[in-house]
Structure 1
């Protein structure tokens, strides 16, 4: 029964907006500023019904298998690659993320770094801190009239497109999906983008096929003196190859916010790029603004609470998308099952035998999973729940108002 799910575990300094939202909904909240490793998480997960993480925590099969009360996992970020979605699906655990709320913050940082790279601002600042006054226009450029190549034209890439065009840049983009261009931006092939862009910026997702997307061959194909930025995923760029092309002058500068291996906050950091003066390095802070984190905290916590309360799985990254308008006081059943014939008939027969009327229902499937939501005309009891759980191929049965 849903009323017993009252503990939320939040890791990695998730916004106070989310903490307060869970508390107002009646949850006991345990919040940590850092990630937990697998052993620590296994020890803490047993009484938890809602788990919130960001980009560091690995929610492994072992963690999920040690979580008998876990209903849903919220990734308070875009990426969900650290969450074992296969095991979560097999156990009927919903996974939600927020693909939108930090896109403006990332786009603004990229635009700012493009300007800083083209004006050599960080190098000039470093010299000033060393007591060197070196006023020069050599190598400094306006963004107006230059070509920006965006690899990955999703929420972040398209917002960046608007900002860059407003600054007078010509925008071209490459995306594996057919997407609508914003403003005067135009789609081009990957090769053409590399050859004509004065600045190339990556905004791709965490799919395995994006691993090592940029290496020696791609950097060689870029325009001489171009700038390169990556604020997407660390594993998509060969940093050794990037460093080599920065040292030879093939590329004039780079800005990197994500890395193949990222240490804990405050720990030591090593990279082939660390000592290069023409590289802006930031510790994965593209989406780390107070505004973005508050928006993410509000969005993901609301999705988790709504899923527990109504069963609404819209925007879940792993479960079938299922929605049934909820009326307060309704008696609601939620049934996650393997996607095989006969499940609904078995459920309907059980309800009919008990003279329970189905007032509304919704069903959707996704791969091997099926998800059905029922509103019925009277409260269910433990015997009914036991019968529904005993239906072959059932994964999870939950109830609201019963």
Structure 2
């Protein structure tokens, strides 16, 4: 066993640039799909001073298995998989790599929005099957339409710049946001439900906003709205969204996150042509991998030096 203090990574790897920063520590990897029991076992075995969270979550049991634990550092921006109340009780600091993957996730939001508005997946499949639908297909033009953004952190603001460049009217809801740029018009949720042609989610998942998009809120939306989610799957009541799509209340949805991950097969969204799916890879680019790893490592070191 190494004489160096341990850093446990809930994943199979870290960017070399991040590892270089952690040279004074023994880095222990938990593998690609770490389960809570596995993490608790590794925590008991290595007693890490820090956990860098890539996949899965950190429970009180895992924290208690590592008495030396001082910091839990998220390799990304969402900390909802970490029991922050339990960490606070144990005086364990929780940090996040805020903004490190903002460009990547905002680009995925844009890609899903365009894929829905332009029916890219369906048209691609039709073309490969030998069809030429020019005479019958009409796409949605986003210019001049209204998009409602829920959550105006680094990702939401980055995406707002992109859709503003498309000449969309940008409504934004975030009770914690300050100093918004002029192209984001602050709005409450009822205004977004009523006026948005596209709704895109960019907020963390909390007890208060779980299933924010549900049968009742979707019914308040404009008929034919497009829904995009690159944040957390728990923000959407999935059966309610499917029903709204099947009824035509929601025209299309582009989803990069799901209530249960990895995606459980069979899933109710499978085979629905009006839902474009991706496996929570919005923040997974080569650049974001480095940015998030370096930020997580730096946050870890900063906490350990206190």
Using structure 2 for the length normalisation, give the TM-score.
0.91
Q: Does 1:18 align with 2:18?
A: yes
1:28 is aligned to: 26
Would you say the 8 A contact 2:144–2:168 is kept in 1? yes
**Corresponding pairs, count:** 301
For the structure 1 residues 108 and 183, does the alpha-carbon distance in structure 2 shift closer, same or farther, using more than 3 Å as the test? farther
For the structure 1 residues 178 and 66, does the alpha-carbon distance in structure 2 shift closer, same or farther, using more than 3 Å as the test? closer
Would you say the 8 A contact 1:50–1:73 is kept in 2? yes
- The CA distance in 1 between the partners of 2:274 and 2:244, in whole Å, is 12
Would you say the 8 A contact 1:5–1:49 is kept in 2? no
Structure 1 SS opposite 2:22: helix
- The CA distance in 1 between the partners of 2:177 and 2:275, in whole Å, is 33
Q: Which has the higher contact order (CA 8 A, sep 6+)?
A: 2
Q: 1:270 aligns with which of 266, 271, 278?
A: 266
Q: What is the deviation of 1:92?
A: 2.7
Would you say the 8 A contact 2:59–2:82 is kept in 1? yes
Q: What is the deviation of 1:298?
A: 0.6
- The CA distance in 2 between the partners of 1:114 and 1:275, in whole Å, is 19
Q: What is the deviation of 1:239?
A: 1.3
Q: Does 1:154 align with 2:153?
A: yes
For the structure 1 residues 137 and 115, does the alpha-carbon distance in structure 2 shift closer, same or farther, using more than 3 Å as the test? farther
Name structure 2 gaps, 5 residues minimum: none
Q: What is the deviation of 1:124?
A: 0.5
Would you say the 8 A contact 1:162–1:183 is kept in 2? no
2:107 is aligned to: 108
Would you say the 8 A contact 1:153–1:179 is kept in 2? no
Q: Does 1:51 align with 2:51?
A: yes
Name structure 1 gaps, 5 residues minimum: 312-402
Q: What is the deviation of 1:183?
A: 3.1
Residues 360-385 of structure 1 show CA distances to partners (whole Å, capped at 9, x for unaligned) of xxxxxxxxxxxxxxxxxxxxxxxxxx
1:163-312 superposed matches below 5 A = 163-177=162-176, 179-263=178-262, 268-308=264-304, 310-311=305-306
Would you say the 8 A contact 1:200–1:229 is kept in 2? yes
Residues 22-75 of structure 1 show CA distances to partners (whole Å, capped at 9, x for unaligned) of 13xx22222244132222122211322222112x32211111111122222211
Q: What is the deviation of 1:178?
A: 5.0
Would you say the 8 A contact 2:205–2:232 is kept in 1? yes
- The CA distance in 1 between the partners of 2:82 and 2:177, in whole Å, is 28
Q: What is the deviation of 1:93?
A: 2.2
Using structure 1 for the length normalisation, give the TM-score.
0.70
Q: Does 1:129 align with 2:128?
A: yes
For the structure 1 residues 154 and 306, does the alpha-carbon distance in structure 2 shift closer, same or farther, using more than 3 Å as the test? closer
Would you say the 8 A contact 1:162–1:182 is kept in 2? no
- The CA distance in 1 between the partners of 2:224 and 2:91, in whole Å, is 51
Would you say the 8 A contact 1:263–1:269 is kept in 2? no
Would you say the 8 A contact 2:74–2:296 is kept in 1? yes
Q: What is the deviation of 1:137?
A: 6.0
Would you say the 8 A contact 1:14–1:53 is kept in 2? no
Larger Rg: 1
Q: What is the deviation of 1:140?
A: 0.3
For the structure 1 residues 298 and 137, does the alpha-carbon distance in structure 2 shift closer, same or farther, using more than 3 Å as the test? farther
Would you say the 8 A contact 1:105–1:286 is kept in 2? yes
1:334-353 superposed matches below 5 A = none
Residues 64-110 of structure 1 show CA distances to partners (whole Å, capped at 9, x for unaligned) of 11112222221111122222223323333222211211111111111
Residues 252-292 of structure 1 show CA distances to partners (whole Å, capped at 9, x for unaligned) of 1110111111127xxx5333222111111111112111111
